[in-house]
Every structure is written in C-alpha cells, then in structure tokens.
Amino acid sequence: MSHDRGCPCGKEPYEYDECRKASCTRNPLNKKEAAPMSANSTQIGGSHYAATLQHWDVVEGHGIGYLEAAATKYVTRWRKKNGRQDLEKARHYTIKLMELFNNGLRLPRGIVPLEKVVLYNAANGLTPTEGKIMELLFRWETFSDLFAAEGLIVQLMDEVP
C-alpha cells in the first residue's frame, strides 16, 4: 500500500493520514498484531548462525567487503552446516580477494576492532585457528594477511576427514 493510492478501505490519499489515525480495520497500520521477531532471533533453515554476536552485525557494523564477508561466513559455519565444502568456499572467496588485490582492483574495506573480533570468536565458539582466520580477514591490510588466512583455511581443510 502506498500513500498515493490511499487506504485499502477506499479513502483517498489526502484522507490517508486520518484513516491511519482512526480505527480503520482495512488499514494494515492499524492492525494490532504481535510485534514481529527481530531478524537476529529468526533463522531460516537451521541454527548455524545463532549467536549473541552475529556475523551480519559485525560485517554491516564495520563496512566489511563482500568477499571477506562471504569467506568469514563460511569459516564461521563450516562445522555446523556443510563441512569441508564450506571451507572450500571460504578459500575460493579468499583467493578471489587475493587476485583482485594483486591486480590493483581491490583495497581493504572496513576494519573490525580486535576486541570485537575476540568477542565474535567467543560468541560463535570458534577454535583458535578459525579465530585467527577471522582476525586476518576482518582486519587485513596486505597481501600477506590474505595469504596467511588462505593458508589457515587449507590447514583446516587438511584436518577434515
């Protein structure tokens, strides 16, 4: 429903504000429904992102780029969802980031404060190796940081039966 079309009850757009304030039962703004649950308290298809500090909050809160966000998402969830395949995806995104950086097409974006990385790692039950990958990808500045993260992802992959 938009203001230019008025209320579903038929009132004209210029009458819309009055209708909204009144008890028009056709206006969805007047329906007394339970408050919707927050996005953080809801997950579609599992519980692998359930944590007190969620991945998307860290990414969005600190301006992290798409490739870093994708790689860290897969490292965060690999033990809870798709195992080795998630690590392979994390490595793939990291390699793409390395290629772009090497070709002068990508610079670091955003940086997560170290204290926040530590809180994130703890909230999500990450191992020390996974935590180091988070630190490197959430805070990278050089190719060496990306190379180290990729190496740690490979190390995790080698440990998966």
pLDDT, one tens digit per residue, over 3-53 is: 455 566 666 655 656 665 566 666 555 555 555 565 565 545 555 445 678
| Distance separating alpha carbons of residues 143 and 147, to the nearest angstrom | 6
**What local confidence, expressed as pLDDT, does residue 74 receive?**
98
**What local confidence, expressed as pLDDT, does residue 52 receive?**
77
Query: Do residues 52 and 26 both lie within one domain?
Result: no
Query: Do residues 15 and 83 both lie within one domain?
Result: no
Query: Average pLDDT over the chain, rounded to whole?
Result: 84
Query: Do residues 24 and 54 both lie within one domain?
Result: no
Q: Is-contact 86 74, C-beta < 8 A?
A: yes
CA 42 to chain centroid: 14
Domain count, the chain: 2
Query: Do residues 96 and 147 both lie within one domain?
Result: yes
Question: Please, which residues have CB within 8 angstroms of residue 41's CB and are 6 or more apart in sequence?
Answer: none
Query: Do residues 149 and 124 both lie within one domain?
Result: yes
**67 occurs within a structural domain:** yes
**111 occurs within a structural domain:** yes
pLDDT exceeds cutoff 70 at 143: yes
Nearest to 154 by CA among 87, 57, 68, 58: 87
Query: Do residues 115 and 151 both lie within one domain?
Result: yes
| Distance separating alpha carbons of residues 140 and 134, to the nearest angstrom | 10
Query: Do residues 18 and 89 both lie within one domain?
Result: no
Question: Please, which residues have CB within 8 angstroms of residue 54's CB and are 6 or more apart in sequence?
Answer: 40
**28 occurs within a structural domain:** yes
**52 occurs within a structural domain:** yes
Query: Do residues 17 and 55 both lie within one domain?
Result: no
Query: Do residues 85 and 149 both lie within one domain?
Result: yes
**41 occurs within a structural domain:** no
Domain coverage including residue 141:
48-159
Provide, rounded to the nearest whole percent, the portion of the chain with pLDDT above 70: 68
Q: DSSP labels for 128-141?
A: HHHHHHHHHHHH--
Q: Is-contact 68 137, C-beta < 8 A?
A: yes
| 0.85 surpassed by pTM | no
pLDDT tens digits, residue range 71-93? 999 999 999 999 999 999 999 99
Q: What is the DSSP letter of 105?
A: S
| Distance separating alpha carbons of residues 126 and 79, to the nearest angstrom | 10
